[in-house]
Amino acid sequence: MRFNKLIGTAIAAAVASAIALTGCGGDGSSGGKQLVRMSHTQIETHPDHIGLEAFKKYVESKLADKYEITIYPNGTLGANEKVLELIKQGSVQYLVVSTANIESFDKLYSLFSIPYLFTSETAYEKFITDPKTLEALSVNSNADGFVPVAAFTAGTRNFYAKTPIRSVADIAGKKFRVQAGPTNVAMMEAFGGAATPMSFGEVYSALQQSVIDGAENNELALTDQKHGEVTKYFTYDMHQMCPDLLVASKAFLDKLPAEDKQVFTDAAKEAQKAEFAAWHQAVDTAKKTAEGMGVEFITVDVNEFRNKVLPLHQQLLNATPELKPLYDAATAANQAG
């Protein structure tokens, strides 16, 4: 990931010129086959990647003569914010991106940054896999330039730091990396800490150089991104559950013939199934590996953390009233879950 940070832009430029050199149009057509580029920021054993492999396999089992799918892991096409621009243009067709990274494009996605929106992981999973949820999130897709076609779980987000966080008071005055987005900044302030938004790929060196005191994520960040080498305390405060969405370029989808579009729609469902199947095992493995790296997992009184930031719910709804129907649906999932 440090590698990405240094030359990510150069790689993205190289890919752009490769697109030009191979005679592909901006839409990625070449030699009779349409190239489909899928981008994500994780390593190749991560459940997101496994989901995309299932997608590729499915499309190529049905339409190998028409489409060639390439998956770009590790953010090699650039940070998500940059790739979203390529998605809008249609030169990259799919991207796996955290909802937090798209809330600046479309406020509806800030729903998932509301801390303690869900009361259990079961409720969260139920809500994000309900097709009505993606449909409701898609309403602005013409303006956004992208459409969410599958939701991948990314577990629960928790604080981890160089010093132990055993209660909210331990956050005071410390700097935490958060995903870009105003809701995260408001959440950190409510916890009494300072928010430092930055791209995922920049977090390792920021921790190593003590530019930040900690970050927040699921367990896989400790191992896949090696954050457990430089932070030894992971606290299960469970402040957020933000899915990774597989988003498709609207320009790409709109040009697909109806029967091909159906195959791509079904492929997204296959991707979601494969990602979910890989997730819980991946978390168990990451936890064991992180313990081997010397990371201590701390359990806390979650209610103490929740109570500190609950007033944000109403504030965020007041600021973005269009969130209310989705907020109510998420809350209803809590009751059922």
Residues in the site for ligand GCU, rule: CB under 6 A?
41, 98, 154, 179, 200, 217, 221, 244
Question: Measured from the CB atom, is 46 or 308 closer to ligand GCU?
Answer: 46
CB atoms within 10 A of CB 140: 16
Nearer to ligand GCU, 280 or 324 (CB): 280
> Which of 34/225 has CB closer to ligand GCU?
225
CB 151 within 8 A of CB 243: yes
Of the pair 248, 263, the CB lying nearest ligand GCU is at 248
| Closest-CA residue to 89 (of 38, 27, 159) | 27
Cα separation, 117 vs 197, whole angstroms? 21
Closest CB to ligand GCU among residues 202, 270: 202
In whole angstroms, how close is the CB of 39 to ligand GCU at the nearest point?
A: 11
Q: b/e for 86-119, b at 16 or more Cβ within 10 A?
A: bbbebbbbbbbbbbbbbbebbbbbbbbbbbbbbe
Q: Map tokens 């081997």 to a residue.
A: 292
Question: What is the nearest approach in angstroms of ligand GCU to the Cβ of residue 33?
Answer: 29
The DSSP annotation for 207-259 comes to: HHTTSSSEEEE-THHHHTS-GGGT--EEEEEEEE--PEEEEEEHHHHHHS-HH
In the complex, the smallest distance separating the C-beta of residue 231 from ligand GCU, rounded to whole angstroms, is 14
Contacts of residue 209, defined as CB under 8 A and 6 or more positions apart, other chains included, come to: none
- Tell the smallest beta-carbon distance from residue 50 to ligand GCU (Å): 13
For 143, the token pair is: 């303006």
Q: How far is the CB of 157 from ligand GCU (least distance, A)?
A: 8
Q: Which two tokens stand for residue 110?
A: 């800030």
Q: Which is nearer to ligand GCU, 154 or 274 (CB)?
A: 154
Find the shortest distance in angstroms from Cβ 217 to ligand GCU.
Answer: 5
- Closest residue to ligand GCU: CB criterion: 200
